[in-house]
Structure formats: C-alpha cells, structure tokens
Amino acid sequence: MVSLGCPKNTVDSEIVLGSLTDKGYLVTSNEGDADVIIVNTCGFIDSAKEESIDAILEMAEYKRKGNCQKLIVMGCLSQRYKDELLKEIPEIDCLAGAGDFKSVAEMIESKNGIKKSKVREPVFDFNEYTPRVLTTPRYTAYVKIAEGCSNRCSFCIIPKIRGPFKSRSIDSIVRETEILSSKGVKEINLISQDTTMYGADTGFKNGLSELLRKLVNVGGIRWIRLLYCYPTFFNDELIKIMKNEEKVCKYIDLPLQHSHNDVLKAMLRQEREGEIRDLIFRIRDAIPDIAIRTAFIVGFPGETDRNFEHLLNFVKEIRFEHLGVFTYSLEEGTRAAELPNHVSEDVKNKRKNAIMETQKRLSLEKNKGFIGITKDVLVEEAGGSDKFLISGRMQTQAPEIDGVVYIEKSEVRAGDMLPVKITKAMEYDLAGEAVN
C-alpha cells in the first residue's frame, strides 16, 4: 500500500489494509515482494497530483521487475480522473474511488483479467467495527469523524471529489476511540474536511463540543487534538470545553486562507477579517497558552501587492504559533479557475517565501519563551547513541506537521509521556532534558 496525501487518506488506507488482512491477505513493506500493489492517491492540488502520478508509475515498474500481478489505484485522483488514468497508464488494472474500501477487495479477488473501474459516487461506508491496521506509531491515531465537505470555497475541488459533509454518530466515534485506547493509543487527532461543522448536517447543535465531552471520559486517552477546524462553527461553547478539559489539547488547526476581505470574498469564504480577528482574540483571551496553526494561500487570482501586504502584516500582528503557506494552484472545475488576473508563479513564490521568512523569525521568538519551562512530552523516537536522538512532541505540536522536542539521553521508550525542561529553542524545534 502506497498512501499519499492528508491524514484523512491515511485513515482510508488503514481501513483498506484492515479489510484485506481480515480476509487473510499479508501486508508487505517491500514492493518487490507484493502480488498486489495499491496506490491511494491525492488529487487536491497540482503538486499532489504529480506526486500521485509519479507513485503510480514507480509502482507500475514492479509489474515488470517484481511479483506484482495487479496494480490498483484508488483515492481522490481516481475519483476525479478515472478515464484519463486508465487510458494514459495501461499498467493500471483497477480503479476505485475515494474511500471505496469494498471495491478494492472485490478487485483483488476478481480473476477475469478485465480492467475495471469501480469509481462511483463518494461513499462513507465504515464504522467503529470496520477492521483497521494503524500505520501511525502505536500510541497515536487519527479518528475521522466525518467525510466530505459542504463548503464551496472557490479554489477547492474537494466537495466534488468527496461529496457533501456527512457526520458519523457520536457513539460510533466514542466506541472507536475506546478500541484504539485498548490497543495502547494515548493520543487521538480528530479529522475531517471541516471538523467544527461536526453534527451540523444532522441538525445537532454544538456537535463537536458534545463529542468532546464524551471522548474525555475514555480511559487511557491522554490527548485529544482538533485538526481542520474552519472558523464558521468555532463558537464559545467549543472554546469553553477546550479551556476546561485537560485532555483536549490547547491546540487548534484553523485554516484561514487569507486576511484581506477582497480576497476572502473572491475565495467564497464565509468569514471576513473582523470576524477572524474577533475569533482569535476570544480564543486567546480564554486560553492564553493556546497554540494556533493556520494556513494561507498566496497568489490567488486578483491578489494585488496591497492585498498581500495586508496578509503579511496580519501574520506579523497575530503571531501564529504554527503556519503553512501554499501558492495558489489552478484546479479545473472550480470557480477560481475562471477568475481573471491570475498571478505569475514567480510572484507567488516570492510572496510565499516572504511569509515563511517572517514566520521563521516569529516562531523562534515564541520558542525562546519556552526556555526554562517544563512541559509534558510524548516520546516518539528513542534509542541510539546521540545525545539528542530522543524526540517527542508537546500537546501544542501536532504529528507530522509541527516541530518536535529533542530530549537529552534518558531511559524512555516511544509512547512514554514525561516532563521535559526546555533548555534550547530553534526556529521550529525545541530541546530539553527529562525531569526525574
């Protein structure tokens, strides 16, 4: 299994692996030994599509030089470009859509040798009892609480790929978390396309807050982190539970995309600058030690130098703890693709670099504030002879996307949680010593 893209795709891949191992199939990490290779693709932006195509072509080589008898491609790219993929890459034997777990098993078991495309309307067909093989370290897991997206941002193709927003039931999510906890998971990261919208599609007011109230009672779980939180449904009730519940990480992933009202309007975002500022101030007033991660798009069609300077000044003023920047990627089928005044790639990259250089400085300043403070750290890597070979994360650092804490040599194992006194700050990472 080659899994590309976001954590939501990771969960899909884990469910496919679970359904196959449940049927008796063996999973190998060596592509050359595999009889069947599955590529779970991402089709969100150009760079993701290119990575997916490269991975498919690389795996196709194993039909010639390895044991591979069947190459199956699934995920967002196949959902979007099923005809083109089968035509342009003849090595592909079967296509399945995004999250279509059942079709993959059927394709593997099919013996007629006919190329098949079972790409259909996006499905959300799993629950807490669906077999799943975790590909994350044993102490952490992603929990998908919903599928699809009902926002209509002009730059985004995801609603057309994944369908409208569909929430899972609270009972299903709680039970899955209990099962994960019984397997040693200490940290769960709640994910969806729009996590704060949870329950709204079923008329459930404050759905995410109610879910958190149930999840904090699951034994063994130490950290519950919220990822992909749109501002629209981020209300005071949610802020209150984040403040008062120790297990809920003082961390928010809040993709804002821009700060200038003209650009936000063109993006078809629901919030404007004033509402964004008000939300951030309310969050920080209630939870002073909160870490806010955000993401911005630069070079959106029509973004002027003045619009960009507004965004850069916004970043300097708000001083986000974590920040990512994407250059606008034209996606066919989106409203933004039809807008005038597209920005050159050179200008896009210059704007991206300007924000990231600013964020690098701000991040170092914020990290220096941790020196001398003791924080609980979840150990991720342990072993070896180097002084700082042990690394872990504070609850204000999400897996894979944020910095880490390097820990001086100590008798610990991956998955341990221990207090660490911070002694050194870097641009994105920290270092410290374990406190006995």
Confidence of residue 388 (pLDDT cuts 50, 70, 90): low
Instruction: Tell me what percent of the residues of the chain surpass a pLDDT of 70.
Output: 95
Q: Token digits for 407? A: 């820990």
Mean pLDDT of 244-252: 97
The residues, ordered by sequence, that sit 6+ positions from 101 with a Cβ below 8 Å of its Cβ are: 12, 15, 16, 19, 125, 126, 130
Rg (Cα) of the chain, in Å, rounded? 22
Indicate if the pLDDT at residue 117 is higher than 80. Answer: no
Indicate if the pLDDT at residue 116 is higher than 80. Answer: no
379 and 364 in a common domain: no
Confidence of residue 119 (pLDDT cuts 50, 70, 90): low
pLDDT in tens, 93-106: 999 888 777 788 88
Identify which of 112, 119, 37 has the alpha carbon closest to the alpha carbon of residue 83. Answer: 119
Question: How many domains are there within the chain?
Answer: 3
Indicate if the pLDDT at residue 255 is higher than 60. Answer: yes
Q: What is the pLDDT of residue 186?
A: 97
Indicate if the pLDDT at residue 79 is higher than 70. Answer: yes
CB 418 within 8 A of CB 435: yes
Q: What is the pLDDT of residue 367?
A: 97
The SS3 assignment for 292 reads strand
Mean pLDDT of 365-375: 97
Q: Containing domain of residue 408, as a range?
A: 374-434
pLDDT in tens, 256-300: 999 999 999 999 999 999 999 999 999 999 999 999 999 999 999
356 and 410 in a common domain: no
Low-confidence winner among 73-87, 340-354, 379-393 (lowest mean pLDDT): 379-393
Low-confidence winner among 108-122, 149-163, 294-308 (lowest mean pLDDT): 108-122
106 and 151 in a common domain: no
383 and 362 in a common domain: no
91 domain-assigned: yes
384 and 354 in a common domain: no
Indicate if the pLDDT at residue 383 is higher than 80. Answer: no
412 and 347 in a common domain: no
Mean pLDDT of 245-250: 97
What single string gives the DSSP state of each residue in 176-242?
HHHHHHHTT--EEEEE-SSGGGTTGGGT-TTHHHHHHHHHTTSTT--EEEE-S--STT--HHHHHHH
CB 376 within 8 A of CB 405: no
Question: Which CATH number do you get for residue 357?
Answer: 3.80.30.20
pLDDT in tens, 15-29: 999 999 999 999 999
275 domain-assigned: yes
> Dmax of the chain from CA atoms?
66
Q: What is the pLDDT of residue 411?
A: 80
217 and 80 in a common domain: no
381 and 298 in a common domain: no
70 and 171 in a common domain: no
Q: Which residues, in sequence order, are bridge partners of residue 189?
A: 142, 225
Mean pLDDT of 176-204: 96
28 domain-assigned: yes
349 domain-assigned: yes
Indicate if the pLDDT at residue 409 is higher than 90. Answer: no
359 and 408 in a common domain: no
Q: What is the pLDDT of residue 385?
A: 53
379 and 358 in a common domain: no
Q: What is the pLDDT of residue 102?
A: 76
128 domain-assigned: no
Identify which of 172, 178, 183 has the alpha carbon closest to the alpha carbon of residue 145. Answer: 172
CA distance 243 to 302: 39
User: In this structure, is the dihedral angle defined by the CA atoms of residues 428, 431, 435 and 436, taken in order, positive or negative?
Assistant: positive
pLDDT in tens, 177-190: 999 999 999 999 99
Distances (CA, A) of 335 to 137, 145, 267: 39, 28, 9
Question: Which CATH number do you get for residue 409?
Answer: 2.40.50.140
149 domain-assigned: yes
Q: With the CA atoms of 123, 124, 127 and 131 taken in that order, what torsion angle do they form, in degrees rounded to the nearest 10?
A: 50
- Among 314, 349, 368, give the residue marking a domain's end: 368
Instruction: Tell me the whole-structure pTM to 2 decimals.
Output: 0.94
Question: Which CATH number do you get for residue 97?
Answer: 3.40.50.12160
93 domain-assigned: yes
397 and 335 in a common domain: no
Indicate if the pLDDT at residue 228 is higher than 70. Answer: yes
How many other CB atoms are there within 10 angstroms of residue 287's CB atom? 19
- Among 368, 398, 420, give the residue marking a domain's end: 368
419 domain-assigned: yes
Identify which of 305, 354, 301, 304 has the alpha carbon closest to the alpha carbon of residue 325. Answer: 354
- Among 350, 368, 386, give the residue marking a domain's end: 368
CA distance 270 to 257: 11
